[in-house]
Amino acid sequence: MAGVNFDFSEKEWKRIVHWQRTHKCGYRLKNGCQYFGCAGGGYTYSFTPTGLGTIYEIRCACGKKMEFADF
């Protein structure tokens, strides 16, 4: 059975990490770090393949989201 893999380029990953570290978030501590509890799970990554390419959505537990596409 074939699997499906989704990944980010280095440039995309840097953009995601920058957003994660800078967006206004209710889970952000005074020192700038985010804390989502002992189990983590602060971000949901969604991948939607289309005929033109893939749509990426990263959603924070606070409700903010970042979207982009590779086409």
pLDDT (tens digit, 9 = 90+) per residue, 6-38?
888 899 999 999 999 899 988 888 888 888 888
Q: Structure pTM?
A: 0.79
- Is the model's pLDDT at 2 over the cut of 80? no
* Sign of the alpha-carbon dihedral angle for 43, 70, 8, 6: positive
